[in-house]
Amino acid sequence: MSDSVLTSIEDGVATLRLNRPDAMNSLDAETAQAIRDTVEELAVDDQVRVLVVGGEGRIFSAGGDFNWVLTWPEINSIARRVGADAMMAAVQAIYDFPKPSIARVHGDTVGGGTGLMLACDFAIATYKARFGLTSVRNGLLAGIAIPTLIEAVGPRMARQLLMHGGLFDSATAQRIGLVDQVVDADTLDATVAALANELKLGAPSVQTLVKKLVTQINALPHDASAAEVLGIQVANQCVTEEALEGMRAFLDKRKPKWAS
C-alpha cells in the first residue's frame, strides 16, 4: 500500500489520512489509486462502522497535484483521461462507501480537495480552515468536486463558486452548506469522535440502505415511481435480522446488539 495514505482502525472507526503534507495532500495517480483501494477494502471490513477522512500537515487537500498535471501535455489523450478518471474514482469511492463517513477538515480545502470533503456524509471543520474552488484562477476545472458540490449547495451556488474561485472562511462554508459543524482546533478530534460514536448507534443495514436510496430517489420524479421503490424497501427491511433485533431491544428496554 502506498505511504501517501495512512489508515488505522479503532473501536469500529477507520481513519484514512492523506499523507502528502509537502504537496498539500494533493492527488497524483498513486495517491488517487491508494485512496480508492483503501476505501474499497474498508467497505468490506466488518470491523469498520464509520470512516473518517483527514489529512496530515497544514492542509486537508489541494485537489490535483500540479506537478503531476503539468506532465500531461507530454502524454497522449488516453493517458490524460486515465489520470483524470483516477482522481474522479478516488472521490467516487468515498461517496459510494456503504457506511457513514466524516470529513475531518483541520486546514484549508481548495479546488478538487473540496470534492474529497463533500464525498463524505458529514464534514466538520476548524474555524481556521479556508475554502475555495480556486482552480478557475489557475486555468483549470475543479471537475472532481463538481458532482458533490452541486449536491451540497445546489446548481446556482456551485456555478458561483466555480466561476469566482476566491477563498472564504469556515463560517461562510457552513452557511452555504459545505460543512456541517465548525469547531475550535483543539476540540476537532473530540467532536469527530462523538459524531462517530453516535453514528455507531444506527443499524448498519439501514445506514447502507439510506445511502443507496437517497441517491436513487433523488434521481426519480416525486411520483408513484419513488413511492414504489420506497414501499418495496420498507417492506423488505422490516423483516431483516437487524430490524427484528432493534424492535425487540426497544421493547426490552436495552440496546440492540450493534450498539452494545
pLDDT of residue 72: 85
**Which SS3 state, helix, strand or coil, does residue 249 take?**
helix
Q: Which of 128, 106, 123, 100 is nearest to 61 (CA)?
A: 106
Taking CA atoms, 168 is separated from 58, 163, 165, 198, in Å, by 17, 14, 10, 30
Q: Which of 149, 179, 199 is the last residue of a domain?
A: 199
pLDDT of residue 232: 85
Number of domains in the chain: 2
Report the C-alpha gap between 240 and 242 in whole angstroms. Answer: 5
pTM for this one?
A: 0.92
Do residue 87 and residue 193 come from a single domain? yes
pLDDT of residue 236: 84
Do residue 88 and residue 215 come from a single domain? no
Do residue 52 and residue 171 come from a single domain? yes
Backbone angles phi, psi at 116, to 5 degrees: -60, -45
Do residue 191 and residue 64 come from a single domain? yes
What residues in the chain have per-residue pLDDT under 70?
A: 1, 224
Look up the domain containing 123 and give its range. 5-199
Q: Residue 111 sits in a domain of what CATH number? A: 3.90.226.10
pLDDT of residue 1: 57
Do residue 26 and residue 82 come from a single domain? yes
Do residue 220 and residue 139 come from a single domain? no
Do residue 181 and residue 224 come from a single domain? no
pLDDT of residue 36: 96
Residues 211/121, Cβ–Cβ less than 8 Å: yes
Do residue 243 and residue 162 come from a single domain? no
Do residue 120 and residue 211 come from a single domain? no
Measured torsion, CA atoms of residues 65, 113, 199, 239, in degrees rounded to the nearest 10: -80
182: exposed, middle or buried (C-beta count within 10 Å: 0-12, 13-18, 19+)?
Answer: buried
Q: Which of 113, 119, 10 is nearest to 58 (CA)?
A: 113
Do residue 144 and residue 217 come from a single domain? no
